A and B are shown apart, each in its own frame.
Chain A
């Protein structure tokens, strides 16, 4: 099939499912999952076809010799906005960077354009695959819920938005679908809206996202003013004098071929940091990570789909897509410590590394299985940003590879947690459940595979991707001079320590849930058995790639080769010093040792008697409290942001109600008052009326006589 048709069909099928369910969901009732599952499966098939198509095109262009940087194919559906002479940049703007000479008006044109390039196709395949499995799982998990059609409607809308997000070729449309996935996250996290905690969590997710989106929007504004266009790709417009003018897209072939066309300096750094702010909001990095643990109030399939595999990876996708912008900003430091420059990429890496270790530390003490997995997601996303922040080609591809493997094993872990929750009647607190391995064998052993992958033990998939990340950071630490080298070295050790912590908390959760004394809470009732087939089938299907896919792509470098053809990553200044990652044995041994130590410690503490846990907790009591309280970030935000705003809102409410409304009511009462004065004149007495007439006549005659002229 043609690439254009495939590009349209992949988001169109979930959109059709959404519209069908929006109108006929209630009529479909418990059959609502059929349009969704079929649509997602169709999208997945078309994504794979698109992948094969693109691969074929790549092979052909390789044999024919490359005419363009990387491979991209854009397909314009229609023009959404077209405003002529929308903006005239100042004449002092860098003329090289803007598409046209400064001081000439730019046209604001937004085309609905879909693109097919390796990065997009990669994301599409992953998103549609996980979506299909989660939809099948949900048909079992949400069975009997009164909001069953509504759930699938929202999920269909979400997958439509996510596929469009990775397919569009324009910053504004990216922002539109960025917000759309945020909206779906709100709708789905607050799915059981009658539960106050869920409604509040939905609002928190959306509002914290919005804080990030504010930065992202300003970044987009800066891109518009700097580059004069918001498209990724090059376009051609008919200029006023009849000629055809080339408008170079921000990430288009023209700019990628000529590095001078990228703005450098403060503007570039500002753009990158603002884009990173948006990514922090969406991908739950510090300081905007607070929404993700609370978002576990939503149904578990939602957590698996949105908060493990797809929505939170939108930030990583965006930063990877904007690699040329980050490369252009690397020449200018954001600030200098002493005489050492700190570039935007170093900041990205630092945010990623810090978030990884912060979330890892918090996850060690949490009692709620889903919260452990949520903090684990935040931590792994930190790894991805750490990789993207290295600024080297291998680092960026390692980050995307980790995104890929993480999607599989994290979705597996979340679906497993959902299976446990379903069997335990909604209880997911690890203090109340235990020893479930005989009760739920399939769930237990697929969860085990997921845990091994997350911990990063050889030869499961997490090992390969995490080692590639750590290898890239290590290489960057060795090749950078001076301060930057130290910066990355510190981040390397942060990554190592976090890997150990990851292994520890993952297996702590596993042993507490599935080993030990069998403990079933009373809410389980008759649910306490292995989950039905719609739920266990995706678990088994996901266990296969969670175990094997890392090894396969880690050894064949398939993903690396494929993604290297993305225009943004084929960019010449991306550090391609090492084309293929070497398998560093030292690194592998160190990481395996740390991971094994983490698993051993978890086993020691949680597999046998658990007295040592109490002793440890008492010993490190302040640290334990700090970790269990999530570093008190939520109370700090409450005190710094929420409470002042709430006070301000109350003041405004008071002013509105007692000052402005009083004023309006006063004005409204005036006619009544005047009327009552007038009314008292109507007393029904004829002679009073006659008297009034006389008095009026008197006044009139007096005025006539006395008024001169």
Chain B
């Protein structure tokens, strides 16, 4: 296809990625999924940049994409470290749990109670052992000689 059509379609793809990432970022509650969506926004922008680079027939777009990828990697490291710390505080990955800066007179928009606990693990009957215990080769158990 010609360059104009290629540009248009590439931009559409980039825009689609960006929008999906945006909507996902705004609506998902899991911190890691939110971060994935943010990364997707960055990728959408990268696609747009490459498309424009191809359109203008120079490397500028792709150079910027390299920058973006680098920054995204650093950002990922920081973000995941933060999420780890936050998980250790609250024991869940729900972003809505972090609403401490809420004004005092406004109600909490999310539930703070965890959903009801799932059914307890079924209680299987515990049979007595029958027969002899097989001989176990410790070496073989830990380091299997063949699969």
Residues of A within 8 Å of B22, CB to CB, are: 694
Determine the residue in chain A with the shortest Cβ distance to B95.
A686
Residues of B within 8 Å of A683, CB to CB, are: 99, 102-103, 106, 109
A682–B95 contact, CB under 8 A?
no
Determine the residue in chain A with the shortest Cβ distance to B98.
A686
Determine the residue in chain A with the shortest Cβ distance to B38.
A690
A680–B103 contact, CB under 8 A?
yes
A680 touching B106 in the complex, CB below 8 Å, given contacts A687-B26, A687-B27, A690-B26:
yes
Residues of B within 8 Å of A690, CB to CB, are: 25-26
Interface of A is mostly: helix
**Distance from A95 Cβ to chain B, minimum over Cβ atoms (Å):** 81
B26–A682 contact, CB under 8 A?
no
Determine the residue in chain B with the shortest Cβ distance to A689.
B101
Select which of B25, B96, B106, B110 is within 8 A of A682 by beta carbon: B106
Bound-state Cα–Cα, A680 to B104, Å: 10
**Distance from B50 Cβ to chain A, minimum over Cβ atoms (Å):** 22
A682 touching B27 in the complex, CB below 8 Å, given contacts A687-B95, A694-B22:
no
Q: Is B100 an interface residue (CB 8 A)?
A: yes
Number of interface residues of B (CB under 8 A): 17
Which residues of B from 86 to 119 have beta carbons under 8 Å from A? 95-96, 98-103, 105-106, 108-110
Which residues of A from 157 to 204 have beta carbons under 8 Å from B? none
Which residues of A from 662 to 683 have beta carbons under 8 Å from B? 679-680, 682-683
Bound-state Cα–Cα, A680 to B103, Å: 7
Q: Is A685 an interface residue (CB 8 A)?
A: yes
Q: Is A242 an interface residue (CB 8 A)?
A: no
Residues of B within 8 Å of A687, CB to CB, are: 25-27, 95-96
Bound-state Cα–Cα, A685 to B110, Å: 9
Residues of B within 8 Å of A694, CB to CB, are: 22, 26
Q: Is A651 an interface residue (CB 8 A)?
A: no
Determine the residue in chain A with the shortest Cβ distance to B104.
A679
**Distance from B89 Cβ to chain A, minimum over Cβ atoms (Å):** 15
Bound-state Cα–Cα, A687 to B38, Å: 12
Residues of A within 8 Å of B96, CB to CB, are: 685-687
Q: Is A684 an interface residue (CB 8 A)?
A: yes
B103–A691 contact, CB under 8 A?
no
A682 touching B99 in the complex, CB below 8 Å, given contacts A687-B26, A694-B22:
no
Residues of B within 8 Å of A684, CB to CB, are: 98-103, 106, 108-109
Residues of A within 8 Å of B101, CB to CB, are: 682, 684
Determine the residue in chain A with the shortest Cβ distance to B105.
A679
Residues of A within 8 Å of B108, CB to CB, are: 684
Bound-state Cα–Cα, A81 to B100, Å: 70
Bound-state Cα–Cα, A682 to B100, Å: 10
Residues of B within 8 Å of A682, CB to CB, are: 101-103, 106
Residues of A within 8 Å of B110, CB to CB, are: 685
Determine the residue in chain A with the shortest Cβ distance to B107.
A683
Select which of A679, A680, A691 is within 8 A of B26 by beta carbon: A691
Bound-state Cα–Cα, A684 to B109, Å: 9
**Distance from B64 Cβ to chain A, minimum over Cβ atoms (Å):** 19
**Distance from B16 Cβ to chain A, minimum over Cβ atoms (Å):** 17
**Distance from A674 Cβ to chain B, minimum over Cβ atoms (Å):** 15
Contact with B along A638-680 (1 / 0, CB 8 A): 0000000000000000000000000000000000000000011
Determine the residue in chain A with the shortest Cβ distance to B29.
A687
Bound-state Cα–Cα, A684 to B98, Å: 7
Residues of A within 8 Å of B109, CB to CB, are: 683-685
Residues of B within 8 Å of A691, CB to CB, are: 26
Determine the residue in chain B with the shortest Cβ distance to A691.
B26
Which residues of A from 267 to 289 have beta carbons under 8 Å from B? none
Bound-state Cα–Cα, A690 to B28, Å: 12
**Distance from A685 Cβ to chain B, minimum over Cβ atoms (Å):** 6
Which residues of B from 35 to 61 have beta carbons under 8 Å from A? none
A679 touching B99 in the complex, CB below 8 Å, given contacts A690-B25, A694-B26:
no
Residues of A within 8 Å of B25, CB to CB, are: 687, 690
Residues of B within 8 Å of A679, CB to CB, are: 103, 105-106
**Distance from B67 Cβ to chain A, minimum over Cβ atoms (Å):** 21
**Distance from B85 Cβ to chain A, minimum over Cβ atoms (Å):** 15
| 19 examples of A-B residue contacts, CB within 8 angstroms | A679-B105, A679-B106, A680-B106, A682-B102, A683-B99, A683-B102, A683-B103, A683-B109, A684-B100, A684-B102, A684-B108, A685-B96, A685-B102, A685-B109, A687-B25, A687-B26, A687-B27, A687-B95, A687-B96
Which 5 pairs show the lowest CB-CB distances between chains A and B? Answer: A684-B102, A684-B99, A682-B103, A679-B103, A687-B26
